[in-house]
């Protein structure tokens, strides 16, 4: 995800185990590449653009890692290697169509207070659109150094009518596809480099303590002021996702 900002982040720091499904996708030197989510102990959901030109031998997945953004308690992270990378066959790197992929891990993550899975959308289950959250390891610049912190940003899920209008205004309508949804940050800070592949998740109306992932961070228009972030729609891709999960399991 190509986003350049150098301001101090206004996003909220996290508490121990607050977003246990968010994982970091690292290169062979354990440097951050992207974010992702654990949807099964052995399956990570992310954006296809995060894995382009990446081989299994050059990737690591880390779960349960919060520092330096975490505000309490020590960490206990888990590191895994990918066993297989699966891209959507309709992914187009030029316009980010079907920007979705899954990573099958060599060993399942051990679920605990810091590492857990997140739910995907279900038919008939409505979520609270004004209380969504983007979480990831987005980077920012401080004193010339690039730092990556895990954070959460409040987002409002927007209607497709709103999204199409705003994408047209920012000159990015050609990149907005039926496989996308969009949301607007409630703060000046939105998605950053490193947040790509991370989740947009929202509480269910009938069970606000249960979170469901509705989007995957895909791209954001380069424009001054607050602009919507485009997410890959998880619901749109559920048939593809379930097909591969069934085959691989």
Give yes or no for residue 234 having a pLDDT over 80. yes
Using alpha carbons only, what angle is made at residue 2 by residues 96 and 131, rounded to the nearest 5 degrees? 80
The stretch 92-121 carries a mean pLDDT of: 94
Q: Are residues 47 and 199 in contact, defined by beta-carbon separation less than 8 angstroms?
A: no
The stretch 68-96 carries a mean pLDDT of: 80
- Would you state the pLDDT for residue 10? 42
What is the Cα–Cα distance from 190 to 124, expressed in whole angstroms?
Answer: 29
- Would you state the pLDDT for residue 207? 93
Give yes or no for residue 32 having a pLDDT over 90. no
Report DSSP letters for 163-209, one per residue.
HHHHHHHTT-GGG--TTEEEEEESSS----TT-TT-EEEEEBSS-TT
Model pTM? 0.88
Give yes or no for residue 246 having a pLDDT over 90. no
The stretch 146-174 carries a mean pLDDT of: 84
73 — pLDDT class (breaks 50, 70, 90): low
Most confident segment among 58-67, 132-141, 156-165: 156-165
- Would you state the pLDDT for residue 124? 81
Q: Mean pLDDT in the chain?
A: 83
Please tell me what DSSP assigns to residue 120.
P
What is the Cα–Cα distance from 151 to 93, expressed in whole angstroms?
Answer: 27
The stretch 33-62 carries a mean pLDDT of: 91
- Residue 130: closest CA among 42, 200, 189, 29: 200
- Would you state the pLDDT for residue 104? 95
Six-digit token string for 152: 């959460």
Q: Are residues 46 and 20 in contact, defined by beta-carbon separation less than 8 angstroms?
A: no
- Residue 91: closest CA among 39, 46, 148: 46
- The answer for residues whose C-beta is within 8 angstroms of residue 72's C-beta and 6 or more apart is 15, 16
What is the Cα–Cα distance from 103 to 129, expressed in whole angstroms?
Answer: 28
Give yes or no for residue 245 having a pLDDT over 90. no
* Least confident residue range of 4-18, 111-125, 173-187: 4-18
- Would you state the pLDDT for residue 144? 42
Signed CA dihedral, 213, 39, 188, 93: sign only? negative
What is the Cα–Cα distance from 150 to 152, expressed in whole angstroms?
Answer: 7
Most confident segment among 31-35, 58-62, 165-169: 58-62
Q: How far is residue 167 from each of residues 145, 162, 219, 221, 227, measured CA to CA in Å?
A: 32, 9, 11, 8, 9
* Least confident residue range of 8-12, 99-103, 154-158: 8-12
- Would you state the pLDDT for residue 146? 45
């Amino acid at each position: 995800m190509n986003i350049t900002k150098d301001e101090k982040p206004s996003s909220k720091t996290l508490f121990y185990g607050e977003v246990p499904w968010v994982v970091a996708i690292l290169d062979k030197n354990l440097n951050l590449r992207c974010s992702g989510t654990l949807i099964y102990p052995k399956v990570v959901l992310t954006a296809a653009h995060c894995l382009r030109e990446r081989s299994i031998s050059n990737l690591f997945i880390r779960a349960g890692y919060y520092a330096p953004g975490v505000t309490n308690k020590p960490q206990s992270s888990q590191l895994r290697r990918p066993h297989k990378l699966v891209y959507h066959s309709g992914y187009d790197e030029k316009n980010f169509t079907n920007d979705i992929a899954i990573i099958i891990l060599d060993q399942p993550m051990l679920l605990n207070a810091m590492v857990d899975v997140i739910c995907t959308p279900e038919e008939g289950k409505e979520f609270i659109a004004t209380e969504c959250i983007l979480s990831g390891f987005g980077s920012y610049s401080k004193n010339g150094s690039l730092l990556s912190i895990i954070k959460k940003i409040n987002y409002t899920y927007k209607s497709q009518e709103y999204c199409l209008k705003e994408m047209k205004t920012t000159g990015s309508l050609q990149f907005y596809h039926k496989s996308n949804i969009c949301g607007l940050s409630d703060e000046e800070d939105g998605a950053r480099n490193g947040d790509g592949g991370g989740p947009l998740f929202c509480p269910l109306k009938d069970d606000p303590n249960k979170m469901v992932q509705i989007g995957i961070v895909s791209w954001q228009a380069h424009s001054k002021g607050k602009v919507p972030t485009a997410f890959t729609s998880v619901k749109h891709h559920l048939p593809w996702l379930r097909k591969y999960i069934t085959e691989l399991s």
